[in-house]
Each structure stands twice: as C-alpha cells, then as structure tokens.
Chains A and B, each alone.
Chain A
Amino acid sequence: MKLDSKIPEGPLSQKWTNYKAAQKLVNPANKRKLDIIVVGTGLAGASAAASLGALGFHVDIFCIQDSPRRAHSIAAQGGINAAKNYQNDGDSVERLFKDTIKGGDYRAREANVYRLAEVSGDIIDQCVAQGVPFARDYSGLLDNRSFGGAQVSRTFYARGQTGQQLLLGAYGALSREIARGTVVLHERHEMMDLVIKDGRARGIIVRNLVTGELERYAAHAVVVATGGYGNVYYLSTNAMNSNGSAAWVCHRRGAAFANPCYVQIHPTCIPVHGDYQSKLTLMSESLRNDGRIWVPKKKEDSEAIRAGKLRPIDIPEEDRDYYLERRYPAFGNLVPRDVASRAAKERCDAGYGVGPTGLAVYLDFADAIKRLGRDVVEQKYGNLFQMYQKIVDTDPYEEPMMIYPAVHYTMGGLWVDYELQTTIPGLFAAGEANFSDHGANRLGASALMQGLADGYFVLPYTLQNYLADQIYVGKIKAEGPEFDEAEANVRARMESLMTIQGEHSVDHYHKALGRIMWEYCGMARSKESLATAAEKIVELEADFYQHLYIPGKALEMNPELEKAYRLEDYFELARLIVADATQREESCGGHFRIEHQTEDGETLRDDDNFMFVAAWEYQGHDQPEVMHKEELNYEHIQIVKRNYK
C-alpha cells in the first residue's frame, strides 16, 4: 500500500491557492452527466451534497434516520471556530493553524490544517448568508467566545445549539438542491458495502431500513461522511444510531484506517448514574468560559459529600481545590479537553471525587452569577442549564453541576490525502469519518469547522479534479460481477447473524465491549491493560457469534439486526484500536500511555520514533492488520513541548 499525501508544492500559505490554480475542472454541460454518492447528511455530507448539487453534478445522498436533519452534528452545542479576528485580539489564519496543530499534539498534517484555518472565515460568511442566527452584540455585529486551547475569542455560536443551527443551514441548502432535482435523498437507508470496479469506487450496497431489502447504487465517485466510531465504547456522547460501519466496510475493501487509537474523551459530561444508561450527555465546553472546576481540598470533605452529609455549598472557599487553575495558570479552566479530562480522572482516582459514585467533579457558576448576574448567565447557557436540571434533577443555578469525562469524538478515521481521497481511488472521506485535521486531540469548536470546510470548500474542488477525466467513462451501471459479489456478501453476513439464534441481546454484548474498552483502553492505557483488552475482546467476540439472539426477520424493519451488524464491525474496530494503542509507545493528545508521562503527569511524546500517522491495512477477519507509516514533516511550525501552564 502506498501512502501519497499529495501535498501541493510551494510555501504553506500558498499550497491551497496553488492547488486550485492547477486543478482540473469539469465544464457545466458535463457536470450533470457525472454521478456522486454521498453517504451521511451531517455537516460534512449535507454541505458537500448541497455544494456539488449546486455546481451541477448529480448526487444521491443517504442517511439512516428519517430525515437528513437528524444527523448527530445537530447535537453540537458550543460553537464553531474561525480566524475572523473580529475581536481585534490578535487572531489570524496563522494563529488558528498553530493552535490546532499544537492542540493536536503535533500529530496532524501541516498542509491540511493550514487549509482548514484558511477557509474558516468563508464558512462563517456562508452560514450567515444562509440565515444561521449566530449570537450578536447590541451593535448588530457577530459575537464571539473562547474555547479550550486558545487565548483569543474566535468561536461563533448560536446559544448552546450551534451545531443545530449550522446543520439546519446545510440541510436548507441540501433541501433546495433536492427541490431543484440535482440531489436525490434516500432516507432510512444504510450503507452496507462498497463496490469497487477496475480499482475505483463505483457504487454502494444499501439496506432499506423500512423493508430490509438491499438496493444498489452506482456512481463515478463515493463520499463517506458518516461520522466517528465513539460508540464502540457503548456509553458516549454520540447518538444511539451513530456507528462506524460505513467507514469500516470501506476499510475492509482496502481503504487504510488511520490513527484509530486517538479517541477524545470530553471532560464535561453528566456522570454515569446507572447500568440501564444508554448514553452520556455532554455539557458544552463553552461552560468552561465562566464555570470553575473544583473538588474539595480535604479527602474527608469529599467522603462526607459522597455520603450525603455535606453539600458543595458547605465547603468554604479556602477548602476548595480549583485544580485546573492551580496546575495550568496560563489557560486555567480552558485547557484542551484531553488535559482537563486527565486532570479530573487524577483527582477522582486520588479519592477527591464527589457525587454518589465518587466519579465526578464540580463545575461551579456561583462566581459567574455573582459577577454577571443570573440573567446574563441564563442568556448564555440557559438551555444547557435546563437540560442539566431535567436529567439530574438539581438546579445548577443553586448548586454546582457535577461532571465527569466521557467518550466524545474520534480523531482517527479513514486515511485521506490532501484531496480527502482515501487509498481507494474515487472514494473520499469527509468530516469526523476521516482522520485528517485534528492530530491526537481535537480542539473545541473545531469539529463543526472541519465538517463544513470539507463539504463546502474542499470537496467541491478536489472531487472535481478527480472527476475531470471520468467524463470519458460514461454512465456507471449498478450491475456486473462486482455488484453481485458485494450484494451477496451483505446478504450472507445478515443471514449468518440471523441464524445464530442464541440467547443474548445485542446490547448485552455491546455493553460488555464498552466496559472492556473504557476500562483497559480509555483515558489511561498501559502495555498490560491493552494486552488484557485484546484478550477479552476476542473472548467476547467468540461468545457473540455463538450466543447472539436477534428476533424477527431480515426483511423487515428490525433495529436489533441493525445493532448487530454494527456491533460486528465494532469488534474488529476495537481490536484495531487496541493494536494501534499498543504500537504507539508514547503519550500524545487523547492517547495516554501511563509508561510515558512527565514527572508531573503530563503527556510525554516521542517525536523521534512516533512522528507519523499509523495507517492500517485490513487483512481479513482473523488476521492482524498491517501498519503503514506516513511520516509527518513539519516544515513551517516549530515543534515544542505542549505546555498550557
């Protein structure tokens, strides 16, 4: 397998300009003869399909929900970064680029990240033109706030529902193209396999989730924008239906999968409260603008709180440990997510945690309410406070919130080159589904930025470059041995799952897999814990194939079957995450190996040996995967120790 990142020539700030100047174009009359499949309708998928449809290409777009507007981008709360420098606080493309590379712990590709920062401003212009109601100040100008890992205010937001508003903007643009007939929507359809003809991605097999029937679609190119694989941990902030399968079937067909061990654990989620729990709810990072994180200084106070004998407001100021402010005076409560998560775990492991389980810390707004008044706090965070109250049944205006880290985002994903093309020609990956921009840790408010950058401003150029010579191929038909083989493969897979007829539900296995991953391959990993994880996953997987029970039939709406084939992929994925975490003998960003830390518990990178992207090649269900390296060359940025003190 050859990994050619195809980074354009020229100085960093000119690469994207040079690329666009040299790329191939398709003339307007030919565009409508070219078909594109887009899988996923989140920010990346919807914005890509809308932009490509508007250019005149014919697009088929697929989503598993009942409407494109349900994609999980909708749940992003805090905001979207852009280097507009509207606040005159020293922001620039260069600074956003540097913050993102540093935030990612020097494990992302320079050229991609620079392009992301470069187009960030255009995204805001585009969204405002679409009618996204971003927050404004009294002059009518756009307002900004800060997010972790930055010392400027560059985050644009729409209350605590930024993802919703951006997605509805993209959904509106998509709806317009559907009305114009350039895009055809297929809702409640799930991608089950990728079809490759003559070495190029030429179509997909999908399952109609209402009837259970398989359908075939052919195109000149396929874009996968199906999000991340965080649900491999069972409990995460992802939606219930978010899954890694579309990306994984591409991997099985030969697309390299990069950096699977980079999983982001978000510091501010509502703590776990029972084993019936189906998901974890995020409390936006924006809360760290005004909320202060603390635990009691004295262990006996923590114990008394856990026993219900003391309340947080009983702890006097001098007995509180604002541990982030203490450890990281320069960034305080706004350190990046991986740093904040580990610090919370450290305090809880040391016995200072609060809440009934001892696995929680406080996020306190008392100071902010005193300083700004309750009204201002309510205006900024009202919907988040309401959500917290509905779930936990305590009033965060009166008592500090309790939070704990949870799996949130996956930086790893399908390996892509500068054009967002995978190792399979004609197969592109966008948004969280690719590995491209965030290195080993993503900064807050950068996922929305990347999803929309890929869809609005990158794919319309790079895909066109790919399609320019495809006009000579003619229409691709959904027939031939490749389509037959792929469809038969999917049918066989489902039949074998349906015929196990054991006694345990899919959730039984998914919960067990989640516990293994969280326990042994979560916030802190070691050689031993990873070996244990590898062993336990294999055992569980064997049990799954013997004792799984799926009620009903394959040819009907059957949510249990859907969960089962997604979990089947998660088993392989879990094994790969563990293998990747094992080979990466260093700590960086979200990947923390306890053998590799500084004296004060910070991540210790090994740039000499691990400054590379690990791109894995599938070898078959029972075979270990083969790792390929893409060396990261930093020509522009100066590599330093990541320091937020």
Chain B
Amino acid sequence: MKFTLHIWRQENARAKGHFETYEIDNISADCSFLEMLDQLNEKLINDKIAHPVCFDNDCREGICGMCGLYINGRPHGNDDGVTTCQLHMRRFHDGDEIWVEPWRAKAFPIIKDLVVDRTAFDKIIQAGGYISVTTGGVPDANNILVPKHVADQAMDAAQCIGCGACVAACKNASAMLFVGAKVSHLNLLPQGEPEALDRARNMIVKMDELGFGGCTNTYACEAECPKQIKRQNIARLNRNWIGQAFGRDRRE
C-alpha cells in the first residue's frame, strides 16, 4: 500500500510547529500504524533527509496507554476500541492521505513532534485516585464480600489506560471520563467507600486547577475511548460531587 502522510513536526515545546508531507510505499495491510511510522523513520534515517518523527509508544499491545495519535481527526484513528498501536493499515485504502497530529489540549503541552506531556493525569491520581492503605495490616482478601455485579462494574471502569484520548476528543479538553472512571472504580467497591466523597472532590478540584475544561455532555470521549469506558462513569462522578457539596454520606 502507498500513503501520503502529513505529520505534525515541532522541534520542542517553545518552537512553532507545522505539517510536513512524506510519501511512503510498500506498506503491508497487516502492519500496525506505528510499524508504518517505524518504516517511515527507517527511511528518513537511511536517506538522511530529516530527523525521524518522535512519537510515544511502548507495549504495542494496547494496554500501556503510552501511544496516542490524532489520525485524520480522530484520536487513535478510524477503528473502534483500539489504541494507535492496534490500528492496522488494513483500515485504510491504498493511496490515502493521512493527517497525523499530537493530542491537543492545554493540559497536555507538546514536548516534541507527536509527543505530549501527560503528567497532569498523574497529578490528578495523586490528588486521590487510590485507597489509602499502607502495606500490611489489611484483612483477609475474602473477609469483605463484593457482589459480582459490583466487582464487574468496578472492573469495567478500572480498564482505563490513561492514554488521554478522551481529553483529545473533547472540544473542551475535559478529563471527566478519566476522572469518572477512576472514581467509579474505587467508589463502587466497599474498600473505597470511606474516602469516596473526598476522592471525587479532590480529583475534580485538581482537574480544574490543571487546566482541563468542563464537561458539556457531548460524549465524544466515550465514542473515542479505546477501552470503551462508559459515560455513566461521568454521571456517577457528578453524583459523588453533588453528594460532597451537600455534605451527605453517599448512602443517605
């Protein structure tokens, strides 16, 4: 297969970026999008015409959350339920023009080319995305029963890989789906209940402070989430937020 690639190039955080056009040929339909970029980089290195394109990637099996490219106007490209590393070239047509951009959000500044800084997500988690237990001194694992449907719901939310596609997809660059998923995962479980309301408040406050936008319920995040995290998690987060605002215990 043959493609025309328009790729965002930017020297560093302060430099002005621009699109650069590259042609690439002999791409197998079975190769992944990142393997296609590998081949482009190999060509750029061999021809010594330009520096290879920088892009974040690691596990290449859709679980680490490191990769994330905005491809033809969609985070992770035109397949559903996959990350960029699991997007395959068979999803494109021979001769296609492909536009490749980094995530664009105030809270995710560009570092170089397609690499962005997502440490804001770590900071949100540090504000309360955990259960405050230290090592040791905990009860036997089977002491507290968790109904299967609750554990399953918590697991659905816990699958979030923290890639940032939800923020990139959102016109407000809101992180509500990311925060909602973490709050749901922990607050649904009996172990997470003691800190439930503080957790919701602290994480939302931190999210606002870091420059993420507000949620206007258009659910582009849900549509583009590679792990198909549901918008119900945003509703649950809002419920917890309101609960803490009125100073009520979640169970009342």
Contact = CB atoms under 8 A, between A and B. Distances in A.
- The answer to whether A and B belong to the same complex is yes
A62 to B, nearest CB: 14
Contact of B132 (A84, A176, A276, A560): A176
Contacts of A178: 122, 126
A133 B155 contact: yes
Contacts of A142: 141-142
Nearest to B27: A276
Contacts of A128: 138, 141, 144, 191
B141 A137 contact: no
Interface stretch (A360-368, A551-559, A571-579): A551-559
B203 to A, nearest CB: 11
Contacts of B211: none
B145 interface: yes
Q: Which of A51, A70, A131 has the most CB of B within 10 A?
A: A131
B197 to A, nearest CB: 16
B127 A70 contact: no
A532 interface: no
Given A67-B162, A136-B151, A172 B135 contact: no
B130 A278 contact: no
B151 A75 contact: no
A138 B151 CA distance: 10
Contact of B140 (A125, A179, A273, A457): A125
A141 B38 CA distance: 46
A555 to B, nearest CB: 11
A47 B135 CA distance: 9
B35 A131 contact: no
A129 B186 CA distance: 11
B16 interface: no
Contacts of A159: 155
Contacts of B147: 136, 140
Contact of A131 (B81, B125, B131): B131
Contacts of A391: 86, 88
Given A125-B141, A172-B125, A135 B34 contact: no
Interface string A58-89: 00000001111111101100000000101000
B15 to A, nearest CB: 11
B130 A129 contact: no
Contact of B64 (A179, A239, A460): A239
A179 B62 contact: no
B60 to A, nearest CB: 5
A192 interface: no
Contacts of B136: 122, 126, 456-457
B88 to A, nearest CB: 7
A390 B45 contact: no
Contacts of A387: 61-62, 86
Contact of A72 (B31, B64, B122, B135): B64
B146 interface: yes
Given A66-B119, A185-B122, A551 B48 contact: yes
A210 interface: yes
Given A65-B58, A69-B65, A276 B31 contact: yes
B28 interface: yes
B125 A278 contact: no
A460 B135 contact: yes
B241 interface: no
B160 to A, nearest CB: 9
B154 interface: yes
B54 interface: yes
Interface in A486-537: 503, 505, 507-508
Given A75-B61, A274-B30, A557-B115, A66 B38 contact: no
B31 A179 contact: no
Contacts of B65: 67, 69-70, 74
Interface in B29-47: 30-32, 34-35, 38-39, 42, 44-46
A74 B62 CA distance: 10
A158 interface: yes
Contacts of B144: 128
Contacts of A456: 135-136
Contact of B58 (A72, A185, A390, A503): A72
Contacts of B52: 551, 559-560
Contacts of B191: 128-131
Interface in B1-59: 12, 28, 30-32, 34-35, 38-39, 42, 44-46, 48, 51-52, 54, 56-59
B155 A158 contact: yes
Interface residues of A, number: 81
A134 B151 contact: yes
B131 A172 contact: yes
A460 B141 CA distance: 21
B138 A66 contact: no
Given A134-B151, A173-B130, A391-B88, A86 B135 contact: no
Contacts of B117: 66
Q: Which of B42, B63, B125, B155 has the most CB of A within 10 A?
A: B63
Nearest to A158: B155
A140 B65 CA distance: 30
B249 to A, nearest CB: 19
A136 B146 contact: yes
A281 B86 CA distance: 11
Interface string B70-86: 00000000010110001
A69 B62 CA distance: 13
B154 to A, nearest CB: 4
Interface stretch (A9-17, A27-35, A160-168, A312-320): A160-168
Contacts of A69: 64-65, 122, 162
B121 interface: yes
A549 B58 contact: no
Nearest to A273: B30
A92 interface: no
Listed from nearest, the 5 A-B pairs whose CB atoms lie closest are: A172-B130, A140-B145, A129-B138, A54-B134, A51-B135
Interface of A: 47, 50-51, 54, 65-72, 74-75, 84, 86, 122, 124-131, 133-142, 158-159, 161, 164-165, 168, 171-173, 175-176, 178-179, 185, 187, 210, 239-241, 273-274, 276-279, 281-282, 386-387, 390-391, 393, 456-457, 460, 503, 505, 507-508, 549, 551-552, 556-557, 559-560
27 contacts: A54-B134, A65-B58, A70-B65, A72-B59, A128-B191, A129-B138, A131-B131, A131-B154, A133-B155, A135-B155, A136-B151, A168-B158, A173-B135, A210-B111, A239-B60, A240-B57, A240-B59, A277-B35, A278-B32, A386-B81, A387-B62, A393-B90, A507-B38, A549-B48, A557-B54, A557-B111, A557-B112
Interface of B: 12, 28, 30-32, 34-35, 38-39, 42, 44-46, 48, 51-52, 54, 56-66, 79, 81-82, 86, 88, 90, 111-112, 115, 117-119, 121-122, 125-127, 129-136, 138-142, 144-148, 151, 154-155, 158-159, 161-162, 185-186, 189, 191-192
